[in-house]
Amino acid sequence: MASVGGKDVRPADIRGRALRALGKRSTYGVDVDVAKYLGVSKGKSTDSLTKLGIGRRELFSSASYVQADEAVLQTFVAESLRSLGVTMMPLHEALGRIGRYYWGLIDVDEDKYTALAELSGQGVYIKIPRDVHVKAPIYTCFVISTAGIAQPVHNLVVVEDGAELNLVTACSSSAAGLHVGVTELYVGAGAKVTYTMIHNWAEGTHSRPRTGARLADGSRLDMYYVNLNPGASLQTMPTVEIGARSSFYSASVLLASGSSSLDVGTSAMVSGEGGRAEIISKIIARDTSDVVSRTEILARAPGTRGHTECSGLMLSDDASIRTIPALESRSPTAELSHEAAIGRVDEEAISYLMARGLSEDEAIALLVRGFAIIELGELPLPVEKSLRSALRALAIKATG
């Protein structure tokens, strides 16, 4: 349990709610017996991060936080950012200054996983002060290096009005465990944030990201999520609340392999007039994997727009993908649309590329790579490179 100066600063009612929710199953996804993952470990190895293209150069360019198992290996903020008031510190050290944000977007007792994150006290707090533009990416990295442990973390990110942040979260494991990542992201009025998540879990790992974001008026959030290996199971459903004239873009590409079970999605509530949401989801399923993909856009204000696209690519007769797109409007002037398609690799395209000299396997690999391409908005070059590299690795893994 985290403490400051030996004294627990978490409000007792929050802690009590967490304790009472420890047995509460999540609405979606397979249930994980968290009691099996309560070992304590101070991890040291971050080798699995290098597979995601995250090395020293990235970690020491602006700001970074690295946690292996339960050990915080690094909290670095470049002096140039520190002098502007950019803050990055373990969450438990920031508890005294984040009261109104703490569990403001996600219920601490939403399920056993959020409860676990509260009780563990791990995680990072990031603040970008008003009107400060941090172009260089800030990295947060979470690694599981010991088998059988849980890594529950709670991250809180505050980007104040008019500020800019390019956040990259890299999560990986070299051993099977349970990762719970709660992230609360506040995007101030007129602020601009890109949030890139690249995950690569070891076989047998369960992960339960819990993300909540709120976009104040006139702000923008672009969210990218690439998952090369979901491990044994993954369940996540980020919820984003979008203010007036704000825009939210989410693009995710996930590879489901082995016997993994995925229940993934994104929910956007456009609550401010003229708000925009676009959710692009791509799933590649191979082996005996099982995927449920949910996307929903709720229009709650006039002049809002929303679009979801969910594509599934089946690479195996034994895999399954189910897409559940939902649109809900409470305004006659809202415009909402969705597209969904699931299919195999196009035979005609394979044949065409073979006529150009590619073998069948080479043609399929190229087509899968093409399927996994997502439109990238304005991103710092290192982030764009990392994403493209992760997407290439995902396509190779999908057909390898």
Interacting residue ranges for another protein, rule: CB under 8 A: 346-360, 362-363, 366-367, 369-373
Q: How far is the CB of 358 from another protein (least distance, A)?
A: 6
Q: How far is the CB of 228 from another protein (least distance, A)?
A: 18
Q: What is the radius of gyration, based on Cα positions, of the chain?
A: 20
Give the residue with the Cβ less far from another protein, 106 or 393: 393
Q: How far is the CB of 344 from another protein (least distance, A)?
A: 13
> What are 322's strand-pairing partners?
292
Q: What's the min distance (Å) between Cβ of 360 and another protein?
A: 7
d(CA 15, CA 27): 21
The least CB distance from residue 363 to another protein, in Å, is: 8
We find the least distance from the C-beta atom of residue 395 to another protein, in angstroms, to be 10
Is the CB of 38 or the CB of 354 nearer to another protein? 354
Q: Are 224 and 196 in contact (CB under 8 A)?
A: yes
Nearer to another protein among residue 1 and residue 373 (C-beta): 373
- Closest to 139 in 3D by CA, of 208, 54, 72: 54
CA 255 to chain centre: 14
Residue whose CB is less far from another protein, 93 or 346: 346
Decide if 134 contacts 166 (C-beta within 8 A).
yes
* Calculated CA dihedral for residues 165, 207, 35, 204, nearest 10 degrees: -140
Closest to another protein by CB, 100 or 356? 356
Q: How far is the CB of 397 from another protein (least distance, A)?
A: 17
Closer Cβ to another protein, 191 or 372, answer by number: 372
DSSP 179-203: EEEEEEEEE-TT-EEEEEEEEEPPT
Smaller CB separation from another protein, 79 or 347: 347
- C-beta closer to another protein: residue 317 or 347: 347
Whole-number minimum distance, CB 252 to another protein, in Å?
15
Residue nearer to another protein on the CB measure, 202 or 391: 391
Residue at token pair 């993300």: 211
The whole-angstrom separation of Cα 333 and Cα 302 is 5
Q: How far is the CB of 371 from another protein (least distance, A)?
A: 6
Residues with Cβ < 8 Å from 203, sequence gap 6 or more?
A: 176, 229, 231, 232, 258
Query: Is the Cβ–Cβ distance between 137 and 61 less than 8 Å?
Result: yes
Judge whether 65 and 157 are in contact, CB under 8 Å: no
> Which residue in 57, 254, 46 sits closest to 141, CA to CA?
46
User: Of the candidates 229, 261, 251, which has an alpha carbon nearest to the alpha carbon of residue 310?
Assistant: 251
Q: What is the rounded CA–CA span in Å between residue 215 and residue 246? A: 7
